[in-house]
Amino acid sequence: MTLLSLAHVTKTFGPTLALDNVSLDVAAGEVHALLGENGAGKSTLLHIAYGLLCADAGSMQVGGQPCELFTSPAEARAAGIGMVHQHFTSIPALSVGENIALAAGWPETGKRAERRAASVVARLSLPLDPTALVSALSVQLRQRLEILKALAADARVLLLDEPSAVLAPREVRELLQTLRAFAASGGAVVLITHKLDEVFAAADRVTVLRRGVVTYSSPTAGQTPATLARAMLGADLPRTAPRAAVAGDVVVRAESLTVGSVQAGSFELRAGEIVGVAAIEGNGQRELLRAIVGLDEVGVVGGTLRVTGPVAFVPEDRTTEGLIPEFSLAENVLLGMVDGADRWLNWSAIRARTATLLAEFDVRSGGPDTAASSLSGGNQQKLLFARAFERAPRVLVAEDPTRGLDILATHEIHERLREAASLGIAVIVHSADLDEVLALADRVFVVANGVVREMPAAASRDAVGDAMLGLSPQ
């Protein structure tokens, strides 16, 4: 039975056609993956289904009954639709039970809310202590809370917007099992993801959007990653040239190093190699990377750290740490070079150089004088890489450089990282996505619970994943 059906949905934002005559059917017992590049319209479609956005045209059915398109999330929830957003929406200072009560619209508060939430937790068999404070929960448990909140009001349809972005591999697997179990109990799931392996692991059907148009909709069985990627991009993903790892001079040398509260130990990094740092947020990788960059926010409290500069840094948060959004692109390029700038600035030279970089790194923009805030996330990241290369660095440190980027932009960033290594730069790249680390890195470091260790070259994917979670090797 079709639980949720959207038909001929069209949505425009100003002159932009975000969704063009899109239809989506999700049956009971089905996990339906929704794929597409950034800006393809995936989130827009789910937001319309959840009543967060109003479509210009289209119709929907819920549980086989035709109904008006929702105009608010409250209507969607009343009709049995729950949504898990890309970013956590819980209140850290409240308990799990209180957050569930808020989301479900229960009148209870405090202990009574927690008691009522306990019954939901039991019914959905998603173990989580209703009295625990959200601020004390791990990332995985917060995600579980988001699902509990979405399902608390007896939802039969669960919409999820990139739920796996923040999770470790083992946690992703558990999440997908949870979704499968929910579908097996008669529910329907729509899952937005960028990761094709998740589609094959969990989805019965897949719908691909490209620029607001459905380019593909079929059962997952019989598809391959290549066919789906082609449907998303409209073309094949460019091939990656094989890269021979060349280890050159030692450019980073740490001895019995402790930075802040992180025990980094002893290691050497060489020119021309890519070192992947696998870690889940908040385990100490930030301290390690920033100590190598030489930022004074974390101090070396023990041992020694020698870094041969110049060092280029692509920070995690593009718009508060990497760029000044209201500054022009030329000013933002200068920002990364300001330590070597002349006392008097030669703006025509800086503008000209910026224009060259924008062309070389394929940054889509209105030119050197446009504000950085006008760029998309992928183009902002390309600008940051252009600036990093411009420093002619010996060491390049990149924090989670593909977070939030789509397949094509991710591919371009990966190519830049490989290019940097082949130019003889020691590349240190952190990612919360284990597959990304494994795909890029010549050597893998894992940071868990404030301890850094290098994984043996032969370590399996699962062994690295377990190490990320701080589990001891079996």
Residues in the site for another protein, rule: CB under 8 A?
295, 313, 315, 320-327, 331, 334-336, 338-339, 341-345, 347, 369, 387
Q: Which residues of 265-284 are buried (b: 16+ CB within 10 A; e: fewer)?
A: bebebbbbbbbbbbbbeebb
Query: Angle formed by the axes of helices 139-151 and 96-104, to 10°?
Result: 30
| Nearest approach, Cβ of residue 300 and another protein (Å) | 17
State how far the alpha carbon of 143 is from the alpha carbons of 35, 166, 322, 434, in Å.
Answer: 21, 9, 28, 18
Q: Which of residues 177 and 320 has its CB atom nearest to another protein in the complex?
A: 320
| Nearest approach, Cβ of residue 309 and another protein (Å) | 11
Q: Which of residues 302 and 366 has its CB atom nearest to another protein in the complex?
A: 366
Q: Which of residues 167 and 323 has its CB atom nearest to another protein in the complex?
A: 323
Query: Angle formed by the axes of helices 377-390 and 347-360, to 10°?
Result: 120
| Nearest approach, Cβ of residue 396 and another protein (Å) | 14
Q: Which of residues 295 and 463 has its CB atom nearest to another protein in the complex?
A: 295
Q: Which of residues 108 and 369 has its CB atom nearest to another protein in the complex?
A: 369
| Nearest approach, Cβ of residue 291 and another protein (Å) | 13
Q: Which of residues 159 and 334 has its CB atom nearest to another protein in the complex?
A: 334
User: Does residue 229 sit in helix, strand or coil?
Assistant: helix
| Nearest approach, Cβ of residue 374 and another protein (Å) | 9
How much is the CA Rg of the chain, to the nearest whole Å? Answer: 24
- Residue 443 structure tokens: 């050597």
Using the 8-state DSSP alphabet, how is residue 243 labeled? -
Q: Which residue has the tokens 């090797």?
A: 473
Task: Tell which residue, 397, 395, 466, 406, has the closest CA to residue 434.
Answer: 466
Q: Which of residues 238 and 367 has its CB atom nearest to another protein in the complex?
A: 367
- Residue 414 structure tokens: 């990966």
Chain centroid to Cα 354, Å, comes to 28
Chain centroid to Cα 301, Å, comes to 32
| Nearest approach, Cβ of residue 294 and another protein (Å) | 8
| Nearest approach, Cβ of residue 342 and another protein (Å) | 7
**Region for residue 306 given its phi and psi (left: phi exceeds 0; alpha: psi -120 to 50; beta: otherwise):** beta
Residue 455: partners with Cβ closer than 8 Å, 6 or more residues away = 444, 445, 446, 463, 464, 467
Q: Which of residues 50 and 313 has its CB atom nearest to another protein in the complex?
A: 313
| Nearest approach, Cβ of residue 447 and another protein (Å) | 20
Q: Is residue 252 within 8 Å of 306, Cβ to Cβ?
A: yes
